[in-house]
Amino acid sequence: MPSGPGGYWLCKPCDGVMSVAGLADRMITEFDRALRTVAAPPRVPFGAPLQSVAPELTEKERAHSAALMRVNHVGEVCAQALYRAQAAMTTNPDLVRRFEAAAAEETEHLGWTSERVAQLRSHTSLLNPLWYAGAYVLGVAAARAGDALSLGFVVETERQVEQHLQGHLDALPAADQVSRALVARMRDDEARHGREAKAAGAATLPAPVRFAMRLAAKVMTTTAYWI
Ligand SMILES: [Fe+2]
Ligand SMILES: [Fe+2]
């Protein structure tokens, strides 16, 4: 952001000015949110009835389930970054509320997947800070394209995530009822997020952008399975 007179900074996305203190305050808030997401995700039990289901998994099934749930946790880390960036960069108060509400709802998914990975005696992705930073940059880029395309980005992201989660329902071991229930619930939530963004006035993204998003998601999901 270029410097303006009197210690103010020109805020490009909103074509207005923001005080240095305001900018610093926003940066601290965003950094705090990033840290909470990647370093101390909330541990949210999925629910007492399902929690009590003891998975009878072989070692191979456990490792596979844990890797798939690690991938899903990374997806939720990225969802936090995308929504936070899009909320920070729009000047439309309605959209700010929408994105912040969506981020808050995704926090539940973040907690469920984090908890499930721990239950499966594994770890979340070591590259989470990188995933968060990359997704945040993507969110900023989407927001700078304008509100309609920013919403279109949400629609496309949620559509791809919904398809991805459907694929995980096929890939998860049949015995892992807890992970399967989690993923099914998340798939339904993501579909609703997409519908809501569409109803809010989303524009359709150009095909090359949709393809690039699919490619980026493939890199992320393949890497996060292992690391
Ligand atoms: Fe989610
Ligand atoms: Fe979502």
Ligand with an atom nearest the CA of residue 98: 2
Dist. CA 3 → ligand 1 center (Å):
37
Q: Cα-flanking dihedrals φ and ψ of residue 19, to 5°?
A: -65, 160
Q: Label residue 48 by pLDDT band (50, 70, 90).
A: very low
Q: What is the pLDDT of residues 114-135, one digit of tens each?
A: 989 988 889 999 999 999 999 9
Cα-to-centroid distance, 37 and ligand 2 (Å):
15
pLDDT higher for 166 or 105? 166
Q: Name the one residue in this structure whose structure tokens are 């992201």.
A: 157
Q: pTM for the complete prediction?
A: 0.80
Mean pLDDT in residue range 206-216: 89
In DSSP terms, which residues pair with 18 in a beta bridge?
A: 9
Residue 57 has pLDDT above 50, yes or no: yes
pLDDT band at 39 (very low <50, low <70, confident <90, very high): confident
* Long-range Cβ pairs for the range 95-102 (8 Å, 24+): 95/147, 95/150, 95/151, 95/200, 98/196, 98/197, 98/200, 102/154, 102/193, 102/196
Q: Which CATH architecture has domain 45-226?
A: Up-down Bundle (1.20)
What is the predicted pLDDT for the residue at 152?
93
For residue 121, what are its two tokens? 């005696």
DSSP-derived letter for residue 202 is P
Give the per-residue pLDDT at 45: 59
Every domain of the chain and the residues it spans:
45-226
